[in-house]
Amino acid sequence: MSILLCLILEGMARLFYSDPYSPYPMLPSDYLPFTTPRNVDFHHHTPEFDVVYHFDEEGFRSSPAPETGTADRARLLVMGDSFTLGWGLDYDASFVGRLQARVREYQWLDAAYTAAYSPDAYYAYLVRNAARLRIQRCVVFVYDGNDLDDVHDNHWLQVDERGGPVQLVTRRRYIDYRGYPIPIDGRFDLLQVPVLRDSCLVRNVYHRMARPARSTSPSGQDMEPTWQRFEAAVKATSRFCAEQHIRLDYVVLPAPPVRRKDDWSERHQRMVDVLRRIPAPVLDLGERLSAEAYFPKDGHLNACGARIVAEAVADSIAPPQERLTLTDQASHSRLAGIRGE
């Protein structure tokens, strides 16, 4: 009788309620707030865009048809949040995809979301994976809109001798690419049980009873501990890269004008100032992106904004006088063939 009642309630839930959880391109991690799935094509549809994110065997976003002949190039690791992932854009239209085509002396590895989404998580990922991936250069994109909030909502479980975290979790609830909630702070919850996590009834009840409010970071003096952790993370990243002879660059991406809070200018400038105190080049794009560079509703960079970022970064890390254009490279290859080189 109880089984029949459960089936009736489940049927009614599926009839009258929608699934409260939408899939998101991530998976749980044993040392990061989250990471990306491996060897998965994730379909992302909204009223503003309809795209597929291809994640390779390392969880990096890449082209579904990866370029060949890149094994002899220096490996450049890119870390950042959803902006760096190319949210809402085909890979070739994203700024990392454009950089891969434009600055061809590097093999670009897009670890956005693979290394989670905040500078403290990027450090933990870099320490664990830089040697294995044979990284020679690293470009970290920092977003002034919410990176500080992301650091605020992370718990550092283990800190190394450089003062950076090597294991951390988030207090936020996220949904993985299959639509399953990721446990908060790594704790066990009911939706880890397979029979329950697929139930529309249980998912709706759980969503209403266990859903935590999205954390809102404090302001003013209450944010000082978060600023200290932000600075500790970027300093530790700089030290690690120096020890490992990895060239490090930072790029600061601004929030879209319509989403900038009252303290945006102050927060943006302080973020830039913190980064400029470490021995690494900092490219500040705060004044280069207008409202037309973003999707109007979603708020991420559109194709125009991605092009502007790619051009600025390319000129920063590989100035034009030091870089062959694609046309120059093709001409050089033809000339080499004629000469028999």
pLDDT in tens, 2-54: 766 666 666 766 766 666 668 899 999 999 999 999 999 999 999 999 999 99
Residues paired with residue 253 on neighbouring β-strands, in sequence order: 143
Please indicate, yes or no, whether residues 315 and 291 belong to a single structural domain of this protein.
yes
* Per-residue pLDDT reduced to its tens digit, 197-231: 666 666 666 666 655 545 555 555 588 999 999 99
pLDDT of residue 147: 96
pLDDT of residue 182: 78
Please indicate, yes or no, whether residues 4 and 147 belong to a single structural domain of this protein.
no
Q: Is 27 exposed, middle or buried (0-12, 13-18, 19+ CB in 10 A)?
A: buried
pLDDT of residue 214: 53
Look up the CATH number of the domain holding residue 318. Answer: 3.40.50.1110
Distance in angstroms (rounded) separating the CA atoms of residues 335 and 274: 47
Please indicate, yes or no, whether residues 59 and 202 belong to a single structural domain of this protein.
no
Residue 277: closest CA among 317, 309, 312, 232:
232
Please indicate, yes or no, whether residues 240 and 323 belong to a single structural domain of this protein.
yes
Residue 218 lies in a domain: no
Please indicate, yes or no, whether residues 231 and 270 belong to a single structural domain of this protein.
yes
What's the whole-model pTM score? 0.85
Residue 220 lies in a domain: no
pLDDT of residue 52: 97
pLDDT of residue 339: 39
pLDDT of residue 66: 72
Please indicate, yes or no, whether residues 22 and 126 belong to a single structural domain of this protein.
no
Please indicate, yes or no, whether residues 205 and 324 belong to a single structural domain of this protein.
no
**CB 166 within 8 Å of CB 154:** no
pLDDT of residue 336: 42
Q: What is the total count of domains within the chain? A: 2
Residue 104 lies in a domain: yes
Sign of torsion, CA 70 243 59 281?
negative
Residue 304 lies in a domain: yes
Residue 233 lies in a domain: yes
**Which residue stretches of the chain have pLDDT < 70?**
1, 3-10, 12-13, 15-21, 184-192, 195-221, 319-341
Residue 219 lies in a domain: no
Please indicate, yes or no, whether residues 179 and 47 belong to a single structural domain of this protein.
no
Please indicate, yes or no, whether residues 2 and 63 belong to a single structural domain of this protein.
no
Q: Domain range holding 234?
A: 35-172+225-339
pLDDT of residue 16: 61
Which among 164, 187, 213 is the end of a domain?
213
pLDDT of residue 10: 63
pLDDT of residue 20: 62
Please indicate, yes or no, whether residues 208 and 330 belong to a single structural domain of this protein.
no
pLDDT of residue 245: 97
